[in-house]
């Protein structure tokens, strides 16, 4: 199956995404039916095993205001979302209704709106 980013990469309003994915070292190559990984999935899974460790202490130590954006079609369950936010009360949460885990790609406009609202918040130092 081709990368689901393809349809977004070719949207005329975001032409830079295709170039970024294809040419900026993100590990994808363009084929006739979409973007495909340049790496072997088993090797990537092995690398990820060493990286996937709980980071709760680091998350709790963040003192800056934080925004967490979830896509309704994302990879996290509601329980996982609540657990993540429970480790750091005061974190602002936004849920984007039609977005996936890659909300910055498939929910771009609402993602930008959420980010702008957060950055304009009186909670942030100016």
Q: What confidence tens digit (pLDDT) does each residue in 23-70 have?
A: 444 567 788 887 777 777 777 777 777 677 778 888 899 999 999 999
Residue 110 has pLDDT above 90, yes or no: yes
Q: Give the residue, 37 or 116, on which the prediction is more confident.
A: 116
Euclidean distance between CA atoms 59 and 56, whole angstroms: 5
Name 67's Cβ contacts closer than 8 Å, sequence gap at least 6.
91, 92, 93, 94, 114, 115, 118
Euclidean distance between CA atoms 32 and 13, whole angstroms: 21
The pTM of this model reads: 0.58
């Amino acid at each position: 199956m081709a990368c689901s980013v393809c349809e977004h990469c070719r949207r005329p309003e975001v032409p830079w995404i295709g170039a970024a994915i294809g040419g900026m070292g993100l590990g994808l190559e363009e084929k006739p039916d979409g973007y495909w990984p340049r790496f072997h999935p088993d090797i990537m899974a092995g690398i990820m095993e060493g990286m996937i460790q709980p980071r709760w202490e680091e998350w709790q130590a963040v003192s800056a205001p934080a925004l967490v954006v979830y896509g309704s079609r994302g990879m996290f369950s509601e329980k996982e979302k609540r657990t993540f936010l429970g480790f750091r009360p005061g974190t602002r949460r936004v849920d984007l209704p039609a977005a996936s885990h890659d909300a910055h790609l498939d929910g771009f406009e609402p993602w930008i709106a959420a980010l702008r609202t957060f950055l304009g918040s009186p909670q942030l130092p100016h």
